[in-house]
Structure 1
Amino acid sequence: MFFKIVKNDFIRQKTVTISVFLFITMAVILAATAINNIANLIQGMSDFQESAVPADITVMHAGEYDQAEIDQFAELSSDHIAMQETMVLQNIDGSNIHFGQNQSMAGTIQDISFVVQNKNFDFILDLDNEKLDVREGFVAVPVYFMQQYDLKIGDAITVKGGEYEIEFVISDYARDYEMNASLTSSKRFVINQNDYDEMLEMQAGELEYLIEFKLNENGDSAVVQNAYNEAGLPANGPILEGKIFMMFNAMSDMAVAIVIIFISILLIVIASLCIRLTFLATIDEDIREIGVMKAMGISKKDIKKVYLNKYRVISVAAGIIGYLFSFTAVNLLNGNMRLYISSDLSGNLKYVLSLIAPLLVYFMIVLYCKQVLKRIDKISAVEALRQDSMERGKNQKYTLPLLKNKFLSTNIYMGLRDVWKRFKLYRLLFVIFIVCTFIIILPVNIYNTINSPGFSTYMGIGKHDMRIDLRRTESITEDFIKLQEELKNDDDIEKFAPYITSSYQVKNAEGSFDYINIETGDFSVFPLKYLEGRAPEGEGEISLSFANAAKDGLNKKVGDEVTVMAGGEEQTLIVTGIYQDITNGGKTAKAHTSLGVNEEAVLWYIVSIDLADGVDIHEKMDSYQNAYSTAQVNDIKEYTQQTLGNIIEQMGTVVVGGIAIAIIIAVLITALFLRMLLSKDMSQIAIMRGLGLTSNQISHQYMAGTMMVLLFGIILGVLVSNYLGEFLVSIAMSSMGAAKIEFVHIVWQTWLLCPLVLVIAVGLMIFMSCKVAVKDDLSVVLRS
């Protein structure tokens, strides 16, 4: 009997059933796709790490060093260190690397190094995650540059340095666990040992060293770093732990997965609201039948089962279909993963973890249905048989009389009045429009924020027009001084500020010394937005990045003291501010120029520039690029896009997907709601027809009310996206070094274009759904 009742209910409510089924299916597809993506990421990162065998500690050093001292240190620390290897990098400026038709890599923000494959660990891999073995005359190009410059296997690249010139043929694309991501500022080209020796003999590039350690299974990274520092071993550069490379590799795919999971949660909320709407309408329609069943002695549990079984079947069917479709949908998102991490994502982990989505959605839907069905407990058999509906018989206050309407047409006024009087009925539609708007606007805001020049403030950089990075050459100090003199005498330059970043030893919370990058200069010229406090303005002042000031960093607050080793002496600096920075693992600092420059550990020289009004930025960039061939000249937008390229590209896909999903949901829910509403009001519609109102007049009433709900839902949805969205994104970004994100709002997109698309799509559905007419005999409807 129950099966027959459920079957009849399916047939009676095809539109409702199909709509709920689609929402649950989409929720499962998105949730399973996100989990699938995370499972692929876990599997891919595991395989990548196993093949690459990355270093647990990497010391970047420029300058002289004694390998024998490092070998002795590794031997004395054998309780922690399993292997040690030093990779020698030959740094080549991008302007000296040519390809295609007179193209070069001059515009890249990356430091380019030519290396040979390591022997023991930190291997650079091909696209099959096999250890690269490059033949003489060939080169393996990092995936980052392959993608950025569209380099293909068999293309030639030419390296020029002074009188040195050699041509390589691209034989492979290189996956580099330590320098793969766009967030890392260096990339390694792999060549044959003979070619490398020839470049070394010709002194083609500046030398830099990666002093790397692979720890034992129980090795303690902190102990090794402290011992290394105390031994006074070379560290003219940052010391990086292996976990930071894992974070950089996973960041873009993880960020996209988090956004998708959030959208899927909103879809589950919409599906639940849709089910609630359906249940209330169905129970209202079946009130007499419920009364009859109760009078016959059928238990409340069995009556609930009649309604619940339908949604159990829907949830199971939607879960299976959503689970299967997720493996197709995930291919739209894991292109970046297949390119940068692993081409083979055929592991079994995703099949197991992806089951979490349909199971979770099933239990959430069933629990929610049980909660809604508690309303049946309140229906007595006698009252149910006496009433036509659950709401009938209640005294309703008469409000908003038609006589008081002086401004709107009668049909529009009656439609708005209906919304006001029955807001409890319309509020579900109102909430769904808010959620749909949120699904559209939030990804758009995230995309616009990370794609804007203003995002540089979250990278520890004040907002400016262009920047010049001087690469490490023999004449770098002279070039830096000369550049500042030229900028002072250039009328096209409105203002500029030079900055020097060096590596310093800083006392940590345990009392030992760590290395951090500290930038010195005048930070009032291009100010940052500080979470707390202000920029360092006087002698003995320093500001810390959010990650550096956190408990797992230096554990400092504004007003605390920081001990820095500078000029061979300990200096005590006062923390004046805390800012946001997602670069270099989020751990940076800025100090007043009185700290001095650690000449032996200078990492880079940067000059930030604002141009005068009317100056062509590209002409000015070309001018300084030609004058300083070894420098890197970029506008700030290009710098941000090169650093966050992968995340920006994938977020663009999420924006398109979010808009499509939200429109489908809004259109289907609107059709479902209006079908329910018109069915519920059929007697009232028949009465209005009997009083002489035309079908168009009645339609306009429903259209006016629904459009008002849509417009107010969109307005509130945009506001929620702008403010609540900022809060949620800030929470997600806090682990990366940015604790307070402020969205960049492109008003014509968030307040005009996106709402207009939603209004047009939903408006057409409202227009089609509200074409009501009682075609049957009015007396039949009135008697019913």
Structure 2
Amino acid sequence: MFFKIVKNDFLRNKIVTTAVFVFITMAVILAASAINNIANLIQSMSELQERAVPADITQMHSGEFDQDEIDQFTEKQRENIAMQETMVLLTFDGSNIHFGEDQTMAGTVQDISFVVQNKKFDFILNLDNEKLDVMEGEVAVPIYFMQQYDLKIGETITVKNGEYEKEFVISDYARDYEMNSSLTSSKRFVLNQADYDEMRKMQAGELEYLIEFKLNENGDSQAVQTAYIEAGLPANGPTVGGKIFLIFNAMSDAAVAMVIILISILLIIIASLCIRLTFLATIDEDLREIGVMKAIGISKKDIKKVYLNKYRIMSVIAGIIGYLLSFAVVNLFNGNMRLYISSDLSGNLKYVLSLIAPLMIYFMIVMYCKKVLKRIDKISAVEALRSNIMERGKNRKYSFPLLKNKFFSTNIYMGLRDVWKRFKLYRLLFFIFIVCTFIVILPINIYNTMNSPEFSTYMGIGKSDMRIDLRKTDTITEDFKKLQEELKNDSDVEKYAAYITSSYQVKNAEGSWDYINIELGDFSVFPLKYLEGRAPQAEGEISLSYANASKDALNKKVGDEVVVKAGGKEKTLKVTGIYQDITNGGKTAKAHTSLGINKEAVLWYIVSMDVAPGVDTQEKMNYYQTAYDSAQVNDIKEYTQQTLGNIIDQMSTIVIGGIAIAVIIIVLITALFLRMLLSKDMSQIAIMRSMGLTSKKISHQYMAGTLMILVLGIIFGVLASNYLGEFLVSMAMSSMGAAKIELVNVVWQTWLLCPLALIIAVGFTISVSCKVAVEDDISVVLRS
């Protein structure tokens, strides 16, 4: 009998039942996809790490060094070090790499190096996560460049530098654990040993070295780094720990997973509210039937089971379908993971973990249904047969009389008045509109922030029109001086500032020595936004990045002192400010020029500039790129997009998905809410129609009230995405070195385009829903 009742209920409410079913399925799909994405990320990172065997400590170095000293140090540190290997890199400027029809890689922000496969560890893999084995005359291209320049296997690249010129066939793509991410500023092309030896013999590229250490299982990384510094071993370049590479590899996919999880949580909350709306409408419609069932002796438990079984069956079927579809949907989000981390995402872990979503949603819906169904306990058979007791309560004082209306038409006024008098009923819809707006606006704001020139301030560089990076060459010092002289006399340049970054030793919180990258220059020309304090302006002053100042690093606050070793002497510097920086693991610093350049450990030279009003920035960039072959000239927006390319691409997918999900949610919820509302107001609607009001005018009343709730929901939703969204994003980014993100709010998008799209979707839904309900036969309604 109960099965027949459930079946009949399905048939009686086909549209609503289908809508709720789709909604639950969508909640399961998103939740399972998010869990699936995380499971894939964990599994893929583990597999990539196992196959690539990355270094635990990587010391980048340029200049001469003695490998015997490194070997002796390794032997002394055998309790910590398992293996040591030095990779020799032949570094080229992007303009030396030619492909296609007269195209080059000039303008890339990445350092390009050619290497051969390592023998012990830090292996560069192919897309099947197998060690690359490159034949003579061939080259394996980093995935980053394959994407950026659309390079395909079988095509050729030509390396030209001085007298050296050779064409290589692209045989594979290189999956590089240490240098995969766009946040890592170097990329490695893999050659055959014979081609590499020829290239090195002809001195085609600048020599740089990666001095790498693989630690024992219980090896102390900090002890090795400290001993390395104290031994005075080569360190003309940054030191990078293995954890940084792990963070860089996982960051873009982890960011996507977090956004999906956030949307999934909001979706599950909305699913609960959706069930509540449906229950209220159904119970209200079936009030007399409930009274009859009670009158003939059916127990409360059995009556509840009638309604509960429907949602149990629906949740099970939706859970199974959502679970299965999630494995297809997740491919929309993990394309970056499949390319950069693992092409084979098979394994049982994701299937088991993804089951959490449908099971969790099933139990949540059943428990919530039981809670809502407690209302049936309050319904007595006599009252149910006599009247609609769901409306019972205290009589409210008559307010907002129609005679006092001076601004709106009668129908609009009645709609707004209804919202005020029954706001408790509308507040559910109000909350859902806020959440839907949040789901749309937050991803858009994040996307706009990452695409904004202002995002450069989170990368430790001030906002400017152009940025020139000078590559390490024999003439780099002379080029740097020449460039500054030319800029000084260039009337097209409004202002410029030159910066030199060197590696220094700094005393850490434990009293031992670490390396720190310190930038020297005039930081007042292109100022940063400081979390605390200000930029260094006088002798003996330094500012630290948020990651460097944290308790896990130097543990310093504004006003504290930092001891830096420069020119063989220890100098005590006062911390004047703390800024945000997500580059180089977030650990950087800026100091007054009085500290002095560490000439033996200069890492890079940078010049930032603003062009004068009316000057074509692109033309000026082309001029300096031509004038200085070894330079890398970019505008700040291009620099940011190249550095954050993967994350920006992933976020664009989230933006589209968020808009689609929000529109579906808002249409479904509005339809369900109006079904409940119109069901409750059936007698009132019939009376209004019998008095001569047309269906169109009655529809306008409901449209006015619902749209007012939508407008209020949009306002609160936008404000929530701006303030609460900033808090959530800052919390997520704090581990990367940015503790206070200010989201970019594009006014025409957040206050015009998105609200207009939501208003159109809701307006259409109201129009269709009201047309169906309001035009029912009033004689049938009045007789009932």
**Contact 1:285/1:389, CA 8 A, preserved across alignment:** no
Question: Any idea what the Cα deviations from partners look like across 1:693-713, whole Å, max 9, x if unmatched?
Answer: 111221111122122222222
Query: Which structure 2 residue ranges, 5 or more long, are not aligned?
Result: none
Instruction: Determine the C-alpha separation between the residues in 1 that align with 2:444 and 2:775.
Output: 45
Q: Do structure 1's residue 523 and structure 2's residue 523 form an aligned pair?
A: yes
2:457/2:529 contact within 8 Å kept: yes
- Higher deviation after alignment, 116-125 or 772-781: 772-781
1:538 is displaced (CA, Å) by 1.1
Q: Which SS does the other structure have where 2:389 is aligned? A: coil
Partner of 1:53: 53
Counterpart for residue 117 of structure 1:
117
> Given the alignment of the two structures, is residue 587 of structure 1 paired with residue 587 of structure 2, yes or no?
yes
Distance in 2, Cα, partners of 1:501 & 1:680? 71
Kindly report which structure 2 residues correspond to 1:259-298, keeping only aligned pairs within 5 A, or say none: 259-294=259-294, 298=298
Q: Is structure 2 residue 368 aligned with structure 1 residue 368?
A: yes
Moved more, 304-313 or 281-290: 281-290
**More off after superposition, 440-449 vs 693-702:** 693-702
Match of 1:397 in 2: 397
1:286-330 deviation per Cα after TM superposition (whole angstroms, max 9, x unaligned)? 344445555666554444333322222222211111110001111
How has the CA–CA distance of structure 1 residues 399 and 251 changed in structure 2, closer, same or farther, with 3 Å as cutoff? same
Q: Deviations over 1:45-100 (max 9, x none)?
A: 12211111111111111112111111111111111111110001111111111111
Listed as ranges, the matches of 1:165-180 within 5 Å are: 165-180=165-180
Within 2, Cα distance between the matches of 1:461 and 1:223? Answer: 32
Name the structure 2 match of 1:751.
751
Aligned residues: 784
Partner of 2:40: 40
1:391-470 matches, within 5 Å, as 391-392=391-392, 394-470=394-470
Letter in 1 for 2:402: L
Instruction: Return the TM-score normalized by structure 1.
Output: 0.97
CA–CA distance in structure 1, aligned partners of residues 365 and 775 of structure 2: 38
Determine helix, strand or coil for the equivalent of 1:59. Answer: strand
Worse-superposed segment, 699-708 or 738-747: 699-708
Amino acid at match of 1:98: H
Amino acid across the alignment from 2:101: Q
Question: Any idea what SS the aligned residue of 1:490 has?
Answer: coil
Distance, in Å, in 2 between the alignment partners of 1:777 and 1:330 is: 47
Is 2:562 the counterpart of 1:562?
yes
Letter of the structure 2 residue corresponding to residue 710 of structure 1: L
Q: Structure 1 pair 95/780, CA: closer, same or farther in 2 (3 Å)?
A: closer
Q: Residue type of the partner of 1:58?
A: T
Rounded Cα–Cα distance in structure 2 between residues aligned with 1:532 and 1:362: 48
Verify: 1:181 aligned to 2:217, yes or no.
no
1:494-517 deviation line (CA, Å, top 9, x unaligned): 111111111111111111111121
Structure 1 residue 623 displacement after superposition: 0.6
**Does the 8 A contact of 2:281 with 2:675 survive in 1?**
no
Q: Which moved more, 1:191-200 or 1:52-61?
A: 191-200
Identity %: 82
**Once the 2 structures are TM-superposed, how far is the Cα of residue 393 of structure 1 from its aligned partner?**
6.1
Query: Is the Cα–Cα contact under 8 Å of residues 384 and 390 in structure 1 kept in the other structure?
Result: no
Partners of 1:152 and 1:170 within 8 A in 2: yes
8 Å CA contact retained: 2:146, 2:173: yes
| Alignment match, 1:532 | 532
Q: Which moved more, 1:591-600 or 1:705-714?
A: 705-714
Aligned to 1:630: 630
Displacement of 1:379 in angstroms is: 4.0
Per-residue displacement from partner, 1:425-483 (whole Å, max 9, x unpaired)? 12212211111111111111111111111111111111111000000111111111111
* 1: CA distance, partners of 2:742 / 2:527: 16
SS in 1 for 2:146: helix
User: 2:390 is paired with a residue of what secondary structure?
Assistant: coil
SS in 2 for 1:738: coil
Q: Which residue of 2 aligns with 1:63?
A: 63
Aligned AA (1:180): N
CA distance in structure 2 between the aligned counterparts of 1:220 and 1:305, rounded to whole angstroms: 61
Q: Does the CA-based 8 Å contact 2:547-2:553 persist in structure 1?
A: yes
Partner of 2:162: 162
5 Å-filtered alignment, 1:9-48, equals 9-48=9-48
CA distance in 1, matches of 2:572, 2:377: 71
User: 1:124 aligns to what SS in structure 2?
Assistant: coil
Cα contact 2:36–2:354 (8 A) shared by 1: yes
Q: 2:112–2:186: 8 Å Cα contact kept in structure 1? A: yes
Q: Is the CA contact 1:539–1:593 (under 8 Å) kept in the aligned structure 2?
A: yes
Contact 2:503 2:517 in 1 (8 A): yes
Secondary structure of 2:563 counterpart: strand
Classify the secondary structure of the residue corresponding to 1:345. Answer: coil
CA positional deviation for 1:121: 0.6
Q: Provide the C-alpha distance between the structure 1 equivalents of 2:781 and 2:363, rounded to a whole number of angstroms.
A: 40
Corresponding position of 1:146: 146
Spell out structure 1 runs of 4+ moving beyond 6 A: none
Displacement, 1:383?
4.8
Number of the residue aligned with 2:553 = 553
Q: Given the superposition, is the C-alpha separation of residues 370 and 532 from structure 1 closer, same or farther in structure 2, using an over 3 Å criterion?
A: farther
| Farther off after superposition, 149-158 or 655-664 | 149-158
1:606-625 equivalence runs, <5 A: 606-625=606-625
Q: 1:393 to 1:83 in 2, by over 3 A?
A: closer
- Kept in 1, the 8 Å contact 2:21–2:314? The answer is yes
Q: How far off its partner does 1:211 sit?
A: 0.5
Amino acid at match of 1:360: M
Task: Check 1:774–1:327 CA distance in 2 against 1; reply closer, same or farther (3 A cut).
Answer: closer
* 2:74 match: 74
C-alpha distance in 1, partners of 2:687/2:327?
52
Distance 1:774 1:523, change over 3 A: closer
CA RMSD of superposed structures (Å): 1.7
The aligned counterpart of 1:485 is: 485
SS in 1 for 2:358: helix
Whether the 8 Å contact between 1:699 and 1:772 is mirrored in structure 2 is no
